[in-house]
Structure 1
Amino acid sequence: MKTTLTVFLKEVRENLRDKRTVMSALLYGPLLGPVIFVMIMHTVLTRELDKADQPIKVPVIGAQYAPNLIDALRQQGFVPQPPVADPEAAVRNQDADIVLRIPEDFGKAWRQGETSQVELIYDSSQRDTDGSVDRVKRMLDAYVRHQGAMRLVARGLSPAMMVPVSIDERDQATPQSRAGQLFAMMPYFFVLTIFMGGMYLAIDLTAGERERQSLEPLFANPVPRWKVFLGKLSAICVFSLVSLVISVIGFGICGRFIPAERMGMVLDLGPSFAVRVLLMMLPLIILLASLQTLVAAFAKSYREAQTYLSVLMLVPALPSILLSAMPIKVANWMYAVPLLGQQVGITQLLRGGELGMQQIAMCFASGLVLAIVVALITAHVYRSERLAISV
């Protein structure tokens, strides 16, 4: 173990002097994700909440044909704006979120007790308009129900006749489960942090040294190759682990700035969440470090290894893409699948679901078994004499 420790300390010491490695592993990788993620979520949520609290301004065409309707909408926070010449173009060009058009025969149909029609012009492909459209629809729906009830009362009929079935909605979503749905991409940031934390170190300790022709004199020493590999792997794992810890702490701190409470959500990223995330992620540190070293071992130059590992970076994203695209019911067997188990487990933590030590142990054990297999394969590759040759 003395040889492994010597290699480990040497690699850690040398890479701590490399500003590129330190900035990538201990700054950009672990902190950029939480900062960007929280900034985006904070901006989006704050903007939506501010729009929901403010009166909604909507251009109205033909407001003079339905003064009672406009007055009723005003009481709900509706602020009519001057009409636009081309409402369709205004919506497409995002000059207006939504336009209300009232036809000239609205009053005539109303007086005759017929159905009066209004038009809502909007573009559903514009994501920023969803809140405004929903608010206007709710306002119009409230006005329609009220006026419909008044018509029945005027004819001596009970408004209850128009409601043969009463729907009692009971949403089982909790404040924390709603937050888990919104922050479902967070597990991928943790995996990406591990990957970025060890990537440049894995490239430099294998393909980089191979390109500099420094592996050959290292392998010429009368020590087992697996000890050299274990020392290098340990150095990569330490950088990845530190990167992950910084990222988890970063999310815990930055998460306090997200206005989740104003959205009726609870986001718990405290110490308990951090400890369980670290337990589930520990095997992935060894697994990804071994994979990176294995892939970098087949590259003849630093740049070539960067290309290979950039492609490999897409692999951890697959479980996140799968779970976001398909409504999969969580089952116990998922925790036994590396990467998928971590994605499901962290998502359950965010949603406030049940995640016992059995599920955490399954994540840990399955990931560790696969990590050992990949590490043994990489150690076998390290025995090859071609690894030290850069041509």
Structure 2
Amino acid sequence: MNTVPTKLQRSRAFLTVFLKEVKENLRDRRTLISAFLTGPLLGPVVFAMVINVTLNRELDKAEKPLPVPVIGAEYAPNLIDALKAGGVVPGAPVADPEKAVRKRDADVVLRIASDYGAAWRKGEPVQVELIYDSSQSDANTPVERVTHLVEGYARQQGAMRLVARGLSPSTAWPLQVAKRDQATPQSRAVLMFAMLPYFFVITILTGGMYLAIDLTAGERERQSLEPLFANPVARWKILCGKLAAICAFSTTSLLITVVGFAVVGRFIPAEKLGMELDLGLHFGGSALLLMLPLVLLFAALQSMVAAFAKSYREAQTYLSLLMLVPIIPSLLLVVMPIKAQAWMYAIPLLGQNLGIMQLLRGDGVTAEQIGLCLTGSLAAALVAVLVTIQLYRSERLAISA
């Protein structure tokens, strides 16, 4: 008479553990904040704010009147007039221009030599100095702006000198370079969003981290694993139920992040830089498909790492170190741009990075690339699950001391 309930209990062990863990952790405020608020929403919001502030500041410097201290303005009045026409506001000279740019009192200082007028009248080459500090990122736009105006004035005056001598201005430029930029407005968006895959990966990790810690190291510390393992249920079923709960939280967190970036992407003025940003339905669906295998992989890895910890705090330390691993592919692609090969899509993390970069560029991903990405990541996830199952078979896992 008792055999039927036992069999039913064993067959429903996975679902029972899954529902139990999900229900209990839905009551945990720390888990909810990490999985559904801090991780998935903070990233898109902060990213959009930083991008907007940076773009607006750079655009203001490129469009608004630019104050530039000028030393020796009286020696080159025509040059000063040309700078004024380009939006530069000549300022009072500074006693120590080198110190001024180092102390960020000025982005760039223009210095004109006292012999400028005499050399100009003789038709000799003249030189002006742009004093700036290239280590100050804020100075890049003002320096480029002043440089462009000075060089434009120089070309104009050079052409007028040739015309005065009865020569064609093209005589001075026997070779011209015609640039044919093949980048599309959408492909240029990759320059701005190169770290987007890392945000997705971190969201998956943070979405399931506290759950993974609590379901392994937390229960081990509370000494509740031993009674759980004493039930007549295979431990792999218990583990699968826990992994399913972690995956549910991580997937929800990932979905919130994808939707969050789709929303905040509309508020990023990419078009002002000649870029086109499309984080809509097609991008979101494809990104979710590429990232889903990592949900299972990270759930297994987090559970595996947490299994080695004897306390909740110790598991937090281990998993914090694990979160540094996903940044490697993103940094690799930024520092060492590579031409994607088919086999690269089968490498977990790297394949997802390459796929999302292609989606951002508007190139799309082929069925073969998606298949390689899913196959490679799922194979790695299966290996991680099997290793974690072996850890769950150890009797030492249930011992907290």
**2:93 maps to amino acid:** P
Q: Structure 2 CA distance, aligned partners of 1:281 and 1:99?
A: 49
Post-superposition CA distance 1:15-37 (Å, at most 9, x none):
00000000001110111111111
Which one of the candidate residues 3, 9, 24 is aligned to 2:13? 3
DSSP-derived class of the 1:80 partner:
strand
- In the alignment, structure 2 segments of 5+ residues that lack a partner are 1-10
Matches of residues 346-361 of structure 1 in structure 2 within 5 Å? Answer: 346-361=356-371
Which residue in 2 is equivalent to 1:24?
Answer: 34
Instruction: Give the aligned residue type for 2:380.
Output: L
Q: Pairwise mapping of residues 97-116 of structure 1 onto structure 2 (< 5 A)?
A: 97-116=107-126
SS of 1:245's equivalent in the other structure is helix
Establish whether residue 178 from structure 1 lines up as the match of residue 191 from structure 2: no
2:262 equivalent in structure 1: 252
Confirm whether residue 238 of structure 1 aligns to residue 248 of structure 2: yes
**Match in the other structure for 1:72:** 82
Q: Distance in 2 between matches of 1:341 and 1:370?
A: 13
Question: Is 1:63 aligned to 2:81, yes or no?
Answer: no
Q: What is the rounded CA distance, in whole Å, between the counterparts of 2:56 and 2:86 in structure 1? A: 22
Corresponding position of 1:284:
294
Q: Using the TM superposition, give the Cα deviation of residue 115 of structure 1 relative to its aligned residue in structure 2, in angstroms.
A: 1.0
| Structure 2 Cα separation of the partners of residues 353 and 42 of structure 1 | 26
Moved more, 328-337 or 13-22: 328-337
Is structure 2 residue 322 aligned with structure 1 residue 312?
Answer: yes
Residue identity in the other structure for 1:340: L
Equivalences for 1:175-214 in 2 at 5 Å?
Answer: 175-214=185-224
1:57 aligns to what SS in structure 2? strand
Partner amino acid, structure 2, of 1:179: A
1:261 aligned to 2:271?
yes
Letter in 1 for 2:40: P
**Amino acid paired to 1:122:** Y
Distance in 2 of aligned mates of 1:248 and 1:339: 17
2:336 maps to which residue?
326
The normalised TM-score by structure 1 is 0.99
Letter paired with 1:48 = E
Q: For residues 291 and 273 of structure 1, what CA distance do their matches in structure 2 show?
A: 27
Q: Distance in 1 between matches of 2:67 and 2:358?
A: 40
Cα RMSD (Å) of the superposition?
0.8
Q: Distance in 2 between matches of 1:50 and 1:291?
A: 46
Q: Deviation per CA, 1:196-216, whole angstroms, max 9, x where unpaired?
A: 000000000000000000000
AA at the equivalent of 2:171: M
Q: CA deviation at 1:354?
A: 3.5
1:149 maps onto 2:159 in alignment: yes
Residue of structure 2 equivalent to 1:227: 237
Q: SS at the partner of 1:175? A: coil
Aligned: 1:51 with 2:61: yes
1:83 to 83, 93, 118: 93
Q: Distance in 2 between matches of 1:4 and 1:144?
A: 77
The C-alpha deviation readout for 1:69-128, integer Å capped at 9, x for no partner, is 111221121211111111111100111000000111100111111111111000001011
- Mapped pair 1:13 → 2:40: no
- SS class of match (1:95): coil
Offset of 1:59 from its aligned partner?
0.6
Q: CA deviation at 1:182?
A: 1.4
Return structure 1 stretches of 4+ with deviation > 3 angstroms: none
Cα distance in 2 for residues equivalent to 1:289 and 1:213:
22
Residue 374 (1) aligns with residue 356 (2): no
Q: Tell me, what secondary structure is at the counterpart of 2:110? A: strand
What is the alpha-carbon distance in structure 1 between the residues aligned to residue 127 and residue 290 of structure 2? 57
- Give the number of equivalent residue pairs: 391
Give 5+ residue unaligned stretches, structure 1.
Answer: none
Secondary structure of the residue aligned to 1:120 is strand
What is the identity, as a one-letter code, of the residue corresponding to 2:130? L
- Tell me, in whole angstroms, the C-alpha distance in 2 between the residues paired with 1:54 and 1:32: 32
Partner Cα distance (1:83, 1:382) in 2 = 74
Whole-angstrom CA distance in 2 between matches of 1:182 and 1:59: 32
TM-score, reference length from structure 2: 0.96
Q: Which residue of 2 aligns with 1:364?
A: 374
State the partner residue of 1:164.
174
Cα deviation digits, residues 42-88 of structure 1 (max 9, x gap) = 11011111221112211101100111111122112121111111111
